[in-house]
Amino acid sequence: MSNVQAIINEISAEVQGQRNSEYPISPIFLNRWSTRAFSNREVSDQDLYTVLDAAHWAPSAFNDQPWRFIVAKTEEQRSVFHQFINEFNLAWASSAPVLIVVASDKLRENGDPNGAHTFDAGAAWASMAIQATMLGLSTHAMGGFDRIKARQLLNIPDNFELHAVIALGYQGDKSLLPEAIQQREVPNARRPLNELVFEGKIE
């Protein structure tokens, strides 16, 4: 059995006891969680672009594919990203070997507003996270960053909305995190499904 298949088929040790699905979903969804502890092990271009390729196959309205990914994978590139990530997130995200800004085009090719661009960008991010998990990589999406500064430093046009910065890499030793963050370094649970799903109408 390949490593990828093993990850898909088995619940990881750290997830056991923390997450239990109500229905027989693939373990890949339970194994995906947002770590803050990243090692300094490099991510190969092969794996990085496999993750990005998965994201770009996400569904989108009219196949507009509004998502864009700005990638920082070198020390020089990451140092630019570190300038617009907020202090709390930078305390752990500075260890991640890859950082990715997820943005989406608010306009369609004919200039009309694309009302689905944020929804579609979310689908791309989810695809990215699942593919990363399948490769034994970890991801964590951050909303805490200065969007105005990021737009200026990365030369992002006004018609693109900035959604998140994604940290990507291999999970590291949580003991290297600030003490307050270490306590949060566990896979979290979910609300019961019956609190989120309504048949016919919201009661």
pLDDT of residue 203: 80
**Burial class of residue 146, CB neighbours in 10 A (0-12, 13-18, 19+):** middle
Three-state SS for 49?
helix
Do 55 and 135 touch, CB atoms closer than 8 A? no
Domains of the chain by residue range: 1-31, 34-187
Q: What is the C-alpha to C-alpha distance for residues 110 and 103, in angstroms, rounded to an integer?
A: 19
Q: φ and ψ at 68, to 5 degrees?
A: -140, 145
Topology adopted by domain 34-187: NADH Oxidase (3.40.109)
Task: With 0.85 as the threshold, say if the pTM is over it.
Answer: yes
Place of tokens 């990243």: 38
Amino acid at site 178: P
Cα separation, 125 vs 189, whole angstroms: 20
> What span, in angstroms and rounded, lies between the C-alpha atoms of 125 and 133?
12
pLDDT digits (tens, 9 = 90+) for 55-101: 999 999 999 999 999 999 999 999 999 999 999 999 999 999 999 99
What are the pLDDT digits (tens) for 17-51? 888 899 999 999 999 999 999 999 999 999 999 99
Biggest CA pair distance of the chain: 53
